[in-house]
Structure 1
């Protein structure tokens, strides 16, 4: 036996079969008559309408055969489906495909088979009309044609069956839509008569079916338009512009009881096959809950608006004394009330009293008007606990009544008092404390628990605002106290600044002599020192410089804390700063036997920073890496880009730091117990470094583990701005010398004898500079007037006339205005230098004297040729 092959379009064929909805349906007389006719017409014992399913063949009609289906594997019809063509087998025993088929070798012992494909839709074969005989026979061409004709009739029956099924489904859907829909549906004929109304519409409008069907639909419309309703239909039928038909709109429908119900109405015209309007279908959606929800939403929005404005505009409302009036009017609108009040509860020795902050005007006479003014101003409080108000503010009770005149606690109203119908009094609690109340009267809304619950956010907001109001006086007092504390802090800060300035001056004056003479002794060429003396002098200078650096760090920290640290933010090349810092510490690195390496820069990175302060950051971190390194250790400077930042890391090979103590590193004066060791320092270098980095919009941090060294890193913002040309320029040269001048006169005004001798020893190395020293500004001015010098060096703190007063005298004297006066002072704070330059000093040098800087300054102002200072 050979089973039939599956056709290429098997999936589509099965879909077409199932769409007929005919499988496993009851016996149908029309199909039975076709197969009986086929039996008689062809004189065969069996005639079938066979439908080939996925794994079976099912017989819609099986005249002469008791079974109603077989497996597809033994099906003859499956072969006709596979080839999509008529299948005629005149003797099955002579056909190897069927000779051993169970239907051939066993009952019904098929010897003859003729099957014609059935294609009721999309030309897809779903089955066959089949003829079966137990004897072989010849099948003529005429018989073939007759079989095709009968098959066409079966196809039509299948199509009609499908249409009946679809129509039945449509009918069921329509009936469900009409009768079970949660929307009102009304059928109307072309004269406006109601043909049908579904249950939902009956319930919505209060009618029964027999009360509406047969009546004109105008009974369901508002009286204002019921008389014109029929004209709407006739106008549409005559081709007029539709107003409702074919469009949706919100209208009102009339309930049987007479009240109106908001609905959304959509009317559709139903046409027959000729395109004529035969009836109308009205769809009504009840909008009652939607309208109610919208109203609730508007109320909620109004409430939220009040709460939001009361909180966010509290300061403005309170400053304008409008807060309580605003809340009172909002409460009146929210509750549709004629009268409202809001008050604050004031505890007394006996019972609570009520201070009214806002109240609707209830005055009806001059006397009552005066009383209202007293209540509003807060000059009068209410104390009677046994009144409608008193029960609320004295005991915290909620009072609700719809009949004020009959309430036991109403009290008496004087003649002329406005009539009060209903009343609601609500206490305002903050925790367990009764702090206020509000009341409404003559409300258009029902006064009940639902209203109280809805007003709860308003009540809570009033509690918050009363607490804020109570805190106003306290806050004002705190503000006054803070102002006094601020003034005291500013005074203390000023005193601290003056102390630091004084300390700086007093410490720098002796350091000037210590460092200056040490430098002179070390550089002396006329009386050179021995090696031992050189070491001793070097130690003196080193200790002096260390003390000077400690002073500078303390002053830097003080300036940062006081907010007086100014930065000059500009594009700088990070490589230039690194070169500068490494060059400055080159001798220290060599002396410590440390190997310094730097990462190769892939590009000339530019950052936005203060050049001097960036160098200071690098010097601080590199100095620490030198001090806390191991013997013959290493330092590596790494640079990498992190987004829009440049990260500079200083990695040493020292003993490392425990992560638990990393946060202590940047605390001022915290040296992590290093103060007990041999390494010198104040413990504020990293604190200053962090402040400088953060003020330059950077970040700083540390990565370290004990025994693995440490990496201190910081970031600066990257920029692509052009580098200012002036950044690359050097100090003005000294090439513009006047070789013809024999000598220069330098006047030095200084009252300290030690500093005088130091300056004399320094100038002694300048062959073409003659120094004249005086101890007061007055004497210096006399010398300037009688024998003007080429340059003046002047201390600021002098006996009698100060340096600034002397400078002013020089600037006011036309004969002396050309003189260049350089300040040389122990006042070394940044503001001192800025003030000095602004006052008119040509330059501002600080003590202790930096001999190299002094030399460069003298070269610049006296225009000495190279070598003339030696």
Structure 2
């Protein structure tokens, strides 16, 4: 244990304390009120106003401690008076100065201490206003400021007490001089000191007001002394009834008057004040209050803004269309939940708050939970991912889940979980898919007959046609085949999404597939005088793919490149070895020299029926299914697809596939 040292100015400090004549005086409500407030506001079992005497610390006011003093040699406050900043010991058993202190090892078993020094008007350290707890804890910045504010009030009360003593002594000897000095000191205080008197006949006046009151209310001491109405007239009309009611209650019970109210200036602006005063009955039956006014406008406005912000956030929380859960990260205890989440799951709020939020997720593979925890730990975020949620009846529904890890002011880890019920969306998608599939199947059979009939007619089976009739037959055949392509695309994309498309994976060399893709699309390029180049330095690579489906994907990319290139343009097909997620891969790229992919279209380019120009007058045809089909085909072959594009400089679409001799074909290659 380390005993506190003596300050360098110990003699002057002790003299300043002695001159206050505060040691060994009776209890005073002005100080007891502050220790009660400290204990209540800072949630501490013990709160003290401790004054450091020669060989002891004496408690002017105490809450939760039944002794009036302890030796200075074992005091905590003796250490605290060396600095103007609070002394905070979060765990006394971890501090070499105090771990074996009798006040730690025995009664009152101090484990936490926070003390803010109290100074006399001339700057000498007198003692501390401190709080003590029997368990370790921390003190937030807001709590430190609260302790500082209460210490300031204690210093003001010490100064006010000193002034009162000084006033009484000087009044007996040199009354005028004493009044002048008291006036000067009172006027120097940041707030306002006053005396308010109410006479038996109902008259009211302010026998004394400091300059602080005049600065706050714009009412001179003479005006206030003659009639209190001048000051009451400055109080906001909305707050005046509360002020008068609390005065009546204080007069009836002779209890401390304390209230917050607004003072309205002549220009219409208002400021918040807080008043505290203690009533005293006089021999003539009147009551006089001795009090202090403090300008709290800054603190009050900050508090009101905080309350307003909390109310707005609460309204947003409750009105949010998606489910929102706030939970403890470690214990999985649910702290709050909004109405949308209750509606989706069917629980009442009191039932929901008793749940473990992890039980709301349908049982999943352990790797999914590990993945979520790892992502939360690394980035603080998880999702969005699709998960099955469990309702109050044990049923499940699909949802998109996001989560975010945060820390409270007390460093408690909390988890925000956003849950979007997509049951209706899934239902609509199933209906749409079923409709598209049914319509496509119903159209394909008659369309096949139509194409066959047109082919027979065009071949002259039914006789020769005039040149104009042959042209019309060619147009009919071309449009019928385009419609057949659309139907086949629709059926392919539905089968891919449903996992029902037959895929025959075989190990085969890549280069012949690339050459075949160029050959197949040459005729389309010739129509617009577009050259299709195949890079000469193709890698000798083998891939595990369905050859026909890879050709289908390549044809989609090449035909798109031709479609969006200018006449007499150039399309370039290349490939190279690559590495993805530490595994060997091969990348195939198709580059055009068109206008590039519009910025607004990039996020939806691989979605079904997506068109950069979806108007009726668009210059380029197409169903909007080609890239969606390509993405699904590449995915089922354990590959991935992407693109790069700059405005006016064309676009490069690429496919990345694992090599046939690697094991990365078991999962989709990382893009």
Q: Which bin holds the TM-score, normalised by the shorter protein?
A: 0.3 to 0.5
User: Which one has a bigger Cα radius of gyration?
Assistant: 1
TM-score after normalising by structure 2: 0.37
